[in-house]
Amino acid sequence: GLAYAWLPAAYLAFEYGVSGNLEKKVLAALAVSLLGFFDIRFVYILALLLFVRFFAEFLFLKPSNWVSWVLSWFKTGFVVGVVMMGLNAYWILPSILAKAPSLPATYARSSQALFLSFANLGHSLFLQQPHWFKNVFGNISPLKAEFVLIPLLVFLAPVLKRKDKAVVFWLAVALFSVFLVKGINPPLGNVYSWLFSNVPGFSLFRDPTKFFFLTALSYSVLIGITVEELVKRFKIRILPLILIFYFVILAWPVYSGKMTGTLSSPPYQAEYSRVAQILESDKNFGRILWIPTISPLGYSSPTHPALDASRLTALRPFASVVEGTYETFNFLRAPHIQYLLDIAGIKYIVYPYPDTRREVLKQDNIDYYHWFLAKIADSSWGQIAGDLGGKDSPVPVIEVNKHQDRFFLSPNIWWVIGSDRIYGDLAKLPDFDLSKNALVFAEEHPGLSQRLKEFPNARLLIYGKDDTDLAANFLDTSSLIFPAKNLDFSPNKTDWWKRETADLISWRGFLQEKYGIDNQDFDLGGGWAVAEGSQKLIINHQSLNIGNVLLARVMVSTKGGKIEFYQGNNLVGVVSTKLEPVRDDANVRWFEVGSLDSEAPVEIKTYGDINVVNALASIPVSEWSRINELTRQYKKEEKPLFKSAGEPAINYQRVNSTYYKVEVKGISGSAVLAFSETYDPLWQMNGKESFPLYSLINGFHIDKDGTY
């Protein structure tokens, strides 16, 4: 909202800066910087507006003025750029030196624009937000007749005031922005899709209605010109007042209390206040899981951070237990969910009754809400917090029986070669405690097993794999080839397509629904290259050297067949991907294909209903022999389970959001210090990088008492 309000001032400040002295240029820079603090995306929108302005003025200039005029624009842009970089250096420098900020992997896909293009050409012309006014996501409002006066007033401006430079410019902005607001919808929807995929920064606008601002700004100027001309010509001096009254009537849902978003009073205020009081009185750490997302009045604090269930499904251990694609919160009904809630430090689950202002609830919706609430409230791992109103409260709170603190110790560390399907099997063991058994999934990230030497007491756990899979975990990452990297999400000219790490739920849903198989394997972060039926794919890579051993990581299933690997007309090797029909799941395995006899590209030929290639590797024979010998040594080492005598004490101090001091007392032998913030390699303990624990949080190896 602040960005919407300030952008016109930033635009005018830049215009004054172009024609003014250094002081005005600095003021323009400060105005643009302030806009960036409100919402960085609006700086991009301002840049688009100024880009159109630059070319509009250029067309009307005499050639003799071009040099000084362009120089003035350049100076203003330079000052704005320097000041903005300086004021934003607190995040730009860390982005360059450490890690750039990033959105979820799926946000940059062109399918996001398809999913979020709600406005049609009528909505953009009428300046009518597609969800007006109930604000229900995906529920598109029909065009409302009362908005038709807006475009009529706008497009009267070029009729009443012809050959006016200002009218021409703002009319160009209006048409340009109206076209962008509709996104990928007709006409010429592919243009927005192309801009989204190819123009740097455009992927910030998954929701095209952000460009409504340019429409509103240009409309406001053009309507002002129209009204001015009408008053001059027809002496209707009351016209501005009539127009103000018209806009007040258009916004009537705001004043009449019909809004359901920011400009409204949230329901159940007393209940949310009571929940906040109870949670605030709990001084012990524990996260709050909100279903589906945190409510406007939902409580959150550093002691009780809030989590959205809708976002939790993007994190691996929770995504891997989702059944199907229709109802993704069913991970809370998984047999071993209590172990995941425990290590994630989730102490409370809040499941508010749906907002009936925004949803028309059918009896099925109401029945499902109460059924799902009962399922998690009556589970073995949690119960309703009775002092908050119980199940009858519109804001019921479930308290989880057991959860870990922000830091906890795990005496055993397991290096797992295999999928996280293992959680279900481990949960069947009597008295199993996941928090006491740190799991590192070696196939989650390439090269992760290179760090195994840092953990002398780690035990190998080979789950559904063989010695080749174990050995392949020690390959140098530079030898790995991921065919999916050069594929699209839909079949292209090769008829192959891909899915990525972030697509786990939809990928499993596809396998289950179309082929009746399932798979939870990790993809080494490189994605899945998929071929249905008989297909061919050419792979070219600098590591394909003569005499090297070619390895392939592929899926074997009851719906597979075989994959042949060629160099020219020479067959390198064949991998059978067909499982006997005795099981309904699939397995991803490494295979030694054969020796390369040249440096030519490798051609992959598939046969069967579905074949999936995750990775290839090309390594010298001597290196492959060394790796196999190394893995044999690891398998020979017998390491007993370590049971800590007593319970070590952990005390920690949160200095700030990125700095903690942790004191450990009473440890004997090695252990893993688990830090339950989302895994990031930038978390370091005494200068050593963390490793991914449970595919979720951070782990550090310690072997003595002390302050870390």
pLDDT, tens digit (0-9, with 9 covering 90-100), for 529-579:
999 999 999 999 999 999 999 999 999 999 999 999 999 999 999 999 998
Q: Are 352 and 394 in contact (CB under 8 A)?
A: yes
Alpha-helix runs per DSSP H in 348-410: 363-377
Of 596, 592, 588, 587, nearest to 575 by C-alpha is 592
Tokens of 277: 């009081």
Query: Residue 601 gets which letter from DSSP?
Result: P
Q: What is the H or E stretch that residue 349 is in?
A: strand 346-350
- Global pTM value: 0.89
Q: Are 479 and 446 in contact (CB under 8 A)?
A: no
How many residues are given for the chain?
Answer: 708
Of 556, 480, 571, 543, nearest to 517 by C-alpha is 556
Q: Report the C-alpha gap between 481 and 542 in whole angstroms.
A: 10
Task: Reduce the DSSP state of residue 576 to 3 states and report it.
Answer: strand
Q: Are 354 and 313 in contact (CB under 8 A)?
A: no
Confidence at residue 167, expressed as pLDDT on a 0 to 100 scale? 94
Q: Report the C-alpha gap between 306 and 296 in whole angstroms.
A: 12
Q: Report the C-alpha gap between 531 and 249 in whole angstroms.
A: 57
Of 285, 302, 303, 287, nearest to 349 by C-alpha is 287
Q: Report the C-alpha gap between 67 and 605 in whole angstroms.
A: 60
Cis ω for the linkage preceding 133 (within 30 of 0) = yes
Q: Report the C-alpha gap between 18 and 202 in whole angstroms.
A: 26
Q: Are 14 and 51 in contact (CB under 8 A)?
A: no
Q: Report the C-alpha gap between 462 and 407 in whole angstroms.
A: 28
How far the first Cα of the chain sits from its last, in Å, is 43
Under 8 Å CB-to-CB from 653, ≥6 apart: which residues? 660, 661
Confidence at residue 645, expressed as pLDDT on a 0 to 100 scale? 47
Tokens of 71: 């120089």
Quickly count: other Cβ atoms within 10 Å of residue 187's Cβ.
9
Confidence at residue 122, expressed as pLDDT on a 0 to 100 scale? 96
Q: Are 519 and 601 in contact (CB under 8 A)?
A: no
Strands of 411-479 (E only): list them.
412-417, 437-441, 459-462
Q: Report the C-alpha gap between 328 and 414 in whole angstroms.
A: 29
Tokens of 77: 């842009």
**Partner residues linked to 518 by β-bridges:** 585
Of 305, 258, 254, nearest to 279 by C-alpha is 305
Which positions of the chain have pLDDT values less than 70?
Answer: 61-64, 388-389, 582-584, 636-646
Confidence at residue 504, expressed as pLDDT on a 0 to 100 scale? 95
Confidence at residue 139, expressed as pLDDT on a 0 to 100 scale? 86
Tokens of 72: 């003035």
Confidence at residue 640, expressed as pLDDT on a 0 to 100 scale? 56
